[in-house]
Amino acid sequence: MDQKKAVNFLSFWVANSVVLLLAAAVLGNNVVLGNNNLSGPLAAVISGFILTLLIYLVPFAVERSGYKIKNENIWPAIFFVANFVLIWVIKRLAIVTALGISNILWVLVVALVVTLAELGVTKTTGAMKTAKK
Indicate if the pLDDT at residue 10 is higher than 80. Answer: yes
Confidence of residue 93 (pLDDT cuts 50, 70, 90): very high
Confidence of residue 129 (pLDDT cuts 50, 70, 90): low
Asked if the structure places residue 130 within a domain, the reply is no
Asked if the structure places residue 92 within a domain, the reply is yes
pTM of the model: 0.87
Asked if the structure places residue 102 within a domain, the reply is yes
Confidence of residue 5 (pLDDT cuts 50, 70, 90): confident
Contact 125, 90 (CB under 8 A): no
> pLDDT exceeding 70 applies to what percent of the chain?
94
What's the mean per-residue pLDDT of the chain? 90
Q: How many domains does the chain have?
A: 1
Asked if the structure places residue 131 within a domain, the reply is no
Assign 33 to helix, strand or coil: strand
Domain assignment of residue 20, given as a range? 3-124
Stretch 10-39: mean pLDDT: 93
What is the pLDDT, as a whole number, of residue 1? 63
Indicate if the pLDDT at residue 126 is higher than 80. Answer: no
pLDDT tens track for 36-59: 888 989 999 999 999 999 998 998
Distance from C-alpha of 12 to C-alpha of 20, rounded to nearest angstrom: 12
Asked if the structure places residue 129 within a domain, the reply is no
Distance from C-alpha of 80 to C-alpha of 39, rounded to nearest angstrom: 27
Asked if the structure places residue 132 within a domain, the reply is no
